[in-house]
Structure 1
């Protein structure tokens, strides 16, 4: 058994030596696994400052958290039942669960890009969270500015005026309201390939439709996870 462990450690070190290191799992809680190219079985993280390389996939189990720091100083926190894929030094894919990002500004260089399902989020010095826990995707922007671009077709972006008009019309009869709602949707929606978000805003994306939502107090508090390492 000891010889087998030494052999596996040797293989791990050998593969790592030829890979491009991008950061570390600085600390973790619970069960965190790394799926690495050319290694059949997932690697159970058992130490702090666990090195991550290009093509790694990081997954957390129930009641588990992974705190990741990239070599440029950017931070990523995976809450429970979450996963990310590191496509290369410039691109990280949020695949599942709730993932927090604190991206360090890189001067005039192209900022880190975050992929999530069929969208790509252009980032340059910001703090935000992507929630993929159900069939919709929610993006909560705490600080900075991001650009959200569709990889497939265009977004149907609903404007704020449509929502406020709907709210003021709730006391009308249902049939009349539905007719009015349809007219308002046609008047106050636009088709866009990309859109920008500002600090303190949030959106929900489902079936290509983008609607503004609020940032819940519990999400506001969870952003503190990015300041714990």
Structure 2
């Protein structure tokens, strides 16, 4: 047999095996499972990857029941509304969430707004990112997760935030505006020129400088109207508390329009 023909046969056999395995995995998940959440509405490109499947579903019908271990991810310009027993979640574009169980959702990357109904005393919804764990009994908050940085903006209610590894954090609180010295007109103009020249880099630096060290803590009870930015810098775990920024507030307002 010519070598070229032999190569074609081998390649065909590999492809056939690939599609058979993919089909078996998807068929396995097609068996009834206990749905603990529902993908209720989508916009743009949204994919669902079942817990036992190697690839996302090809045909996604809405509404779609979600089982433990299922992943939902959105591509550019995508959004998704997920309904679960404890409340609702709106997933922003370029984001991914894993349904762990009825009381636990993991935001693997990206951004989402969580609307959580008031829970019974013995119950608590947990929202996870690769960096933190949030305990929730009834509230609304925006959560973002990118690399080793996480931000949570609390719109309503009360939440407790701690790290996944249970390590303590250096907790900083921003100083009130009344504590910031007033600048003369000339200093103000120089300040504005400097900000324009350095842009976002300086804004972040200024926010950190205005933060006043409070304590080393293992958990933070975040109050309504505040945001918490968590990161790792110079081998230190930093948590900076501040009023909700205009950027996060705008992102919340856009996503909250999807809530029922």
TM range (shorter): 0.7 to 0.9
Mapped pair 1:209 → 2:223:
no
In the alignment, the residues of structure 1 paired with residue 173 and residue 57 of structure 2 have an alpha-carbon distance, to the nearest angstrom, of 46
Partner secondary structure for residue 132 of structure 1 = strand
TM-score (norm. length: structure 2): 0.70
Shift in Å, 1:59: 0.5
* Contact in 1 for aligned 2:133/2:163 (Cα 8 Å): yes
Q: Does residue 219 of the first structure (1) align with residue 251 of the second (2)?
A: yes
In the TM superposition, 1:1-229 aligns within 5 A as: 15-44=29-58, 46-70=60-84, 72-133=85-146, 135-152=148-165, 153-161=167-175, 167-168=180-181, 188-207=213-232, 208-213=237-242, 214-216=244-246, 217-227=249-259, 229=260
On the 8 A contact 2:79/2:90 being kept in 1, the answer is yes
Residue aligning to 2:11: none
TM-score by length of 1: 0.79
Cα gap change, 1:83 to 1:162, in 2 (>3 Å): same
Larger radius of gyration: 2
Unaligned runs of 5+ in 2: 1-18, 188-209
Q: CA deviation at 1:215?
A: 3.2
1:39–1:220 Cα change, 3 Å: closer
Q: CA deviation at 1:109?
A: 3.1
Q: How many equivalent residue pairs? A: 209
| Contact 1:203 1:210 survives alignment (8 Å) | yes
- Cα distance in 1 between the residues matched to 2:149 and 2:35: 32
